[in-house]
Amino acid sequence: GQNIDQPTEMTATEGAIVQINCTYQTSGFNGLFWYQQHAGEAPTFLSYNVLDGLEEKGRFSSFLSRSKGYSYLLLKELQMKDSASYLCAVNAGNNRKLIWGLGTSLAVNP
Amino acid sequence: EAQVTQNPRYLITVTGKKLTVTCSQNMNHEYMSWYRQDPGLGLRQIYYSMNVEVTDKGDVPEGYKVSRKEKRNFPLILESPSPNQTSLYFCASSLDRNSANYYGYTFGSGTRLTVV
């Protein structure tokens, strides 16, 4: 079957660094996405990885290892507004549908 | 401004009363999709459309209908809503089957539906 695992909840302190992990088992792979979703709002696109390695975008970076079925999202210099749910999603190549994780709820404390 | 527009944002209705949630995008995107999001279950795809007049079922299509008569519009129809369809609904769009991999999906702002 298709499965994506990520921690349910994490907490961190303002100004710190946090790493949110995602592991996946899918029948195919055409790329991995990270989305940010504030409570009651729409998910917004953060990053996309299709090749192994690290992609950096300002305070956010995303890493992929296809052989391990593993990705992480790294958030640096945390701000209160980073408190949100972070969703990992994989395009498994089946009708271009995304397989979604349940999300990691991140709480940033002062 | 490039966006996906959903209406209404909030809707309370009664069991069995037909309703339509509209979705419109101004980005000339080919691919559009409907999701529902429920606590503990995450985002689940209801229907998707690769292009005009091309629609297909997602993971949870029962009780829903869609149509794609124009590229920009992708309405979600609940012919006879039931309480188990109470959920947060999102419409999403992307350029095409290949570009969806790189650019990601653009989501509408969501519709919170309550069926009593």
Q: Which tens digit of pLDDT belongs to each residue from B10-21? A: 999 999 999 999
Number of helices (H) and strands (E), helices first, in chain B? Answer: 1, 11
A10-67 pLDDT, tens digit each = 999 999 999 999 999 998 888 899 999 999 899 999 999 999 999 998 999 999 999 9
CB-based contacts of B1: which residues, under 8 Å, 6+ apart?
none
Q: How far is C-alpha B3 from the geometric centre of its chain's CA atoms?
A: 14
What span, in angstroms and rounded, lies between the C-alpha atoms of B94 and B101? 9
Asked if the Cβ–Cβ distance from B107 to A91 is below 8 Å, we say no
Alpha-carbon gap: A86 to the closest alpha carbon of chain B (Å)? 11
Asked if the Cβ–Cβ distance from A95 to B56 is below 8 Å, we say yes
Contacts 24+ apart (CB under 8 A), B39-47: B40/A102, B41/A102, B42/A87, B42/A100, B42/A101, B42/A102, B42/A103, B43/A43, B43/A87, B43/A100, B43/B90, B44/A100, B45/A97, B45/A98, B46/B76, B46/B89, B47/B76
Residue B30 is encoded by which pair of tokens? 């080919």
What span, in angstroms and rounded, lies between the C-alpha atoms of B9 and A103? 23
Q: Does A31 touch chain B (CB under 8 A)?
A: yes
- Residue A8 has a pLDDT of 97
Contact B105, B93 (CB under 8 A): yes
Mean pLDDT of B86-112: 82
What span, in angstroms and rounded, lies between the C-alpha atoms of B48 and B93? 9
Asked if the Cβ–Cβ distance from B109 to A42 is below 8 Å, we say yes
- Residue B48 has a pLDDT of 93
What span, in angstroms and rounded, lies between the C-alpha atoms of A105 and A28? 27
Q: State the pLDDT confidence band at B103, using cuts at 50, 70 and 90.
A: low
Alpha-carbon gap: B46 to the closest alpha carbon of chain A (Å)? 11
Mean pLDDT of B107-114: 97
User: How many Cα atoms occupy the beta-carbon half-sphere of A63 within 13 Å?
Assistant: 12
Tell me the helix, strand and coil percentages in chain B, rounded to 5.
Answer: 5, 50, 45
Q: Does A63 touch chain B (CB under 8 A)?
A: no
Looking at beta carbons, which residues of chain A come within 8 Å of B112?
40
Q: Which residues of B touch A (CB under 8 A)?
A: 31, 40-45, 48, 56, 58, 88, 90, 97, 100-110, 112
Asked if the Cβ–Cβ distance from B101 to A91 is below 8 Å, we say yes
